[in-house]
Amino acid sequence: MDHIYRAFISRSAQLLEAPFHTASRLATFPLVNSLVNRLTFSTLDYLRDILEVLYDAVLALETPLSVVQRLGNLTASLRQLAQANLQLLSREELKRGNPEVQKALQSNIRNLLSQPGFEKEVAKSLQSEIYAHLPKDEQLLYTARKVCIRNVTEENSYIYECPQTYLICSNARDPKKAAYFIQRGHSNDSRPQFAFYSAFWRSRYILMEPATAIASNATNSITKNVYSRPNINWWRVVYGNGGIAFYDAATENSVLCGGDPLHWDGEEHHVYTRHASEFSAHQAECTWSLEDCSDAA
């Protein structure tokens, strides 16, 4: 029986090699798809053993970068893709510090998370393992109940309502006021988007008013149009530069910024938006860091 099982694993792995030996994303593999589909009716143990033999073979013939990139050629269920990514991440061949390989691995994980059915179809244990491979800020968007959002220009500059208005300011850290629940969703093109609402501020969201409806400061090219409102508002999150950036999900034309005293009004340290094209010139202002504030009352 053991001999039969090993033969099944070996032959299945041989069949699954095909997508890893072509750079074309247009190639189709009906026999591979048929096998993977049949494996959806079995436990992950079969797939786990097949993947180990598969990766032994393809990593001996292809570069680690090619194998990581070509994993995208494999058509499988989200549960199977989660397992395939995790096993590939654990391979010693991929732990040699090649930045291109690490970038491709992160891209695979983000593609997986962008699938609307990920949280429903993938077991919680596998989800936790996937999240553990994300950078800290990105990980918290999926694992924390509430986050505090800090501007990287200062150690004590957190987003929440201004002292005297419904505008959003960068204020001194106050876990109760600064803690925002995370609401996850997907846009029409299936990309992840996030909304942030506060129980302390009576379930109001961090909302960007359309810039066309607000008088903008042409000299400094900023717009004070970020409010605390009861309406949901979606943000696109972009990772890098030692933190994350928030773009309005509707148009991606505006990026959330703060920390410049030129745009403050006394105690009101307003946050503001800039045109997305200005991000590179104002990276520090427009980069944010997340902290886990799940325990905030």
Structural domain boundaries in the chain: 2-131, 136-292
Choose the weakest-confidence range: 93-97, 118-122, 146-150, 215-219: 215-219
Looking at this protein, which amino acid is placed at residue 147? V
Most confident of the following: 21-35, 96-110, 212-226: 96-110
DSSP 116: T
Q: At residue 123, does pLDDT exceed 60?
A: yes
- Residue 49 CB burial class (10 angstroms; 0-12, 13-18, ≥19): middle
CATH architecture entry for 136-292: Trefoil (2.80)
Mean pLDDT of all residues in 218-225:
75
d(CA 71, CA 254): 34
Which of the two residues, 296 and 297, has the higher pLDDT score?
296
Q: Whole-model pTM?
A: 0.87
Average pLDDT, the chain: 90
- The predicted structure's pLDDT at residue 8: 87
Q: At residue 220, does pLDDT exceed 60?
A: no
Q: At residue 89, does pLDDT exceed 60?
A: yes
Q: At residue 166, does pLDDT exceed 80?
A: yes
Mean pLDDT of all residues in 174-197:
93
- The predicted structure's pLDDT at residue 176: 93
- The predicted structure's pLDDT at residue 1: 66
d(CA 280, CA 287): 10
Q: At residue 30, does pLDDT exceed 60?
A: yes
Q: At residue 216, does pLDDT exceed 70?
A: no
Contact 83, 77 (CB under 8 A): no
DSSP 165: S
Q: At residue 118, does pLDDT exceed 60?
A: yes
Q: Using alpha carbons only, give the angle 123, 125, 131 rounded to the nearest 5 degrees.
A: 100
d(CA 234, CA 207): 8
